[in-house]
Each structure stands twice: as structure tokens, then as C-alpha cells.
Structure 1
Amino acid sequence: MAENENGAAAAQPQPVKMQILAQFIRDMSFENIVAQKGVQGDVKPDIQVKVNLDAKKRSADNQYDVITKLEITSKNKENGDPLFLLSLDYGGVFHVENVPQEQIHAYLMIECPRMLFPYLRRIVSDITRDGGFPPLNLDNIDFVALYRSEVERRLEAERANQPVS
């Protein structure tokens, strides 16, 4: 153990501990518009993916709910007709220790969704395949960039709402 200049033992920083306690689909909707409307012929899909994140503290010590919300739309490139719509809220219950309080929000919004992403990707692939489309294999999501853009968006909103002196 390291000693500080007074000869007392200095507290060593503890390693971060993170454990996924549970995973779940909170809400899911898949709308196969092609099947409903009987679209015929060749379609060239244009796929848009919107991602939102949410995290909240649970009543148990060091436990958090983290939800990744996806809105995936597929439209025909040629005429803009919708092909399918997938809405999915996928969550995890995490036990997180030894993360400084000032860093916990970033940790929950970056590291926790990153851990859930492979499972989320598989669900999206299975749902689109089972819905009659080629399986949609989501590209990796840059959760750091997503977090930074949300922080920047909030700062801009705060600046816009400040009274002018």
C-alpha cells in the first residue's frame, strides 16, 4: 500500500465494478407496411435509425436502469413509401460501483448501452428477418459521440433560455 507524505496509508482508487443484473424488452412494435398494403415489385430500402438513451437510479444501492430506445424506419428509395417501422426500448439493470459521482451519468450513458448493444443488434436482426425482410445488422453505435452531442444540445438549449442582460 502506498504512503502519503505524513506516513499514513493512502487510499488506492478502487477498480470500477459493473455487472448486468437483467436485460429486458420494455416495449417493442414492428409494423410491416409492405405486408399490410401488399407492395409489389423491387424495393430499394433506405433505412434510418434514431437512438435515444435513458438512465435512472433504482432504489437498491448502486443499481441503475439503462434503456436504449431505437426508432428504425425503412422507406423505398425510389418513391419514399414506407416498408417497415421498428420501435424498440431495450433495457438493462446494472450494478455499478466505484465510479465517481461526477462521472456516473456519462458512464451509464456510454458504457452500459455499449454492453447491451450486441443483444440489441441480435433482436433487431431477428425481428426484421422474421418480419419477412433481410436481417438488419445495425452498425456499431458510437455512444461517446451520442453522449457528447446530447450534452452539447442541452448546453445550447440552456443558452437559448437564458435571459438577455
Structure 2
Amino acid sequence: MSDETATPGADQAPLIINGQYIKDLSFEVPNAPRIFAELDGQPEVPINVDVTATPVGERFFEVSLKFRIEGRIKGKVAFIAELDYCAVATVNLPDEHIHPVLLIEVPRLMFPFARNILADLTRDGGFPPLMIQPLDFAAMYRNRVQAAQSQAAAENAAAN
């Protein structure tokens, strides 16, 4: 088989995580020290997660797993944690598979490390360690695709 007809990266691993790192990390306790006197149970902790992928080079991408967590106790902000955890990945797959791999598989591999950082961060901040349950990145991806399709359909209908 000649090089021109070969599948891109056919002789290489389909996915390589070249490195993982904390791009941005923030933790604050705006109502300290009073909030610790009110700490008599688990805080209410809504978690917002976003995944993005940015090309860095040919078949080379930065995948970002962003968390914004605002813990509340009795309606008051107990803590705010923000983490932008990234990985640099090389993807040697046909083009139609790259997007789902970047937004499903790579974050799935990154998640345990990000979860550990957030658990340590909340514990070191004086609160019970935050143990985030595994996330369904495939469902997040499907929701993102459906939202984009709905928006495109709405824009198309508005244009007509």
C-alpha cells in the first residue's frame, strides 16, 4: 500500500495523551471564617462542567475540562472552586472520528485526575473532600450536538 492511500496514522496509536496539566485553578472562601461555624453537614454543591478542544497542530489538540463549583451552606456561598484541567492529545483517526474522541474519550481519561485535584482542593480548603461522581461525557456530547442542530435549524427557519 502506498503512503498516499494509507489511513492517517495507520501505523500509530489512535490516541496519545502527550501530557496533562492545570491551566487555571482558583479556590476561594468568601465568607470565611464565619461559614465554618455553620458547617454542620454537606454543602449544597452544584457542578458546572464544560469540555472544549482546540487544534494546536496537525492532529494535535488541547482538550480542556473546565469545572465551576459553588458550594453553599444554608444559602450562603461556602466556597467557589474553578479548575481548567487540560490535556494535549495526538489523534490518529479518520477526520469523522476526531471530534467525538476529543470530546468524549479524552475527557473520560482526564476526569480521574481532575476529580482528585478538586477533592484535595476542597479538603485543603477546610471542607469535606468533594468526590464528584463519574460524568457521562457521551451524553454531554450528544446534548451538545443536538443543541447545535436545533440552533442551526432555528437559524435556517428564521432566514426563510
TM range (shorter): 0.7 to 0.9
Q: Does 1:46 align with 2:44?
A: yes
The Cα of 1:124 is off from its aligned counterpart by: 0.5
SS in 2 for 1:28: strand
Residue 161 of structure 1 aligns to a residue whose secondary structure is helix
Distance verdict in 2 for CA 1:45–1:155, change over 3 Å:
same
Indicate the larger mover: 118-127 or 152-161.
Answer: 152-161
Structure 2: stretches of 5+ with no match in the other structure: 1-5
What does residue 8 of structure 1 align with?
Answer: none
1:73 paired residue number: 70
Q: For 1:95 and 1:44, locate their aligned partners in 2 and report how far apart those are by CA, in whole Å.
A: 40
Aligned residue in 2 for 1:148: 142
Question: Within 2, Cα distance between the matches of 1:45 and 1:118?
Answer: 22
Q: Which amino acid aligns with 1:18?
A: L
2:25 corresponding residue in structure 1: 28
Whole-angstrom CA distance in 2 between matches of 1:65 and 1:152: 23
What amino acid is the match of 2:113? Y
2:98 to 72, 89, 104: 104
Query: Cα distance, 1:164 vs. partner?
Result: 5.5
2-side partners of 1:65 and 1:124: how far apart?
20
Which among 54, 57, 63 is matched to residue 56 of structure 1? 54
- 2:114 equivalent in structure 1: 120
Cα distance between partner residues in 1 of 2:22 and 2:42: 29
Residues 21-66 of structure 1, C-alpha deviations (whole Å, 9 max, x = no match): 1111111111113425x2223254111111101101112x321110
Q: TM-score, normalised by structure 1?
A: 0.83
Count of paired positions: 152
State the distance in 1 between where 2:13 and 2:142 align. 22
Q: Which has the larger radius of gyration?
A: 1
Aligned partners of 1:54, 1:63: CA distance in 2, in Å?
14
In structure 2, distance between residues paired with 1:83 and 1:91: 26
Q: Could you tell me which of 62, 65, 82 is aligned with 2:77?
A: 82
Q: Normalised by the size of structure 2, how large is the TM-score?
A: 0.85
**Identical aligned residues as a percent:** 36
What is the CA distance between 1:156 and its match in structure 2? Answer: 1.6
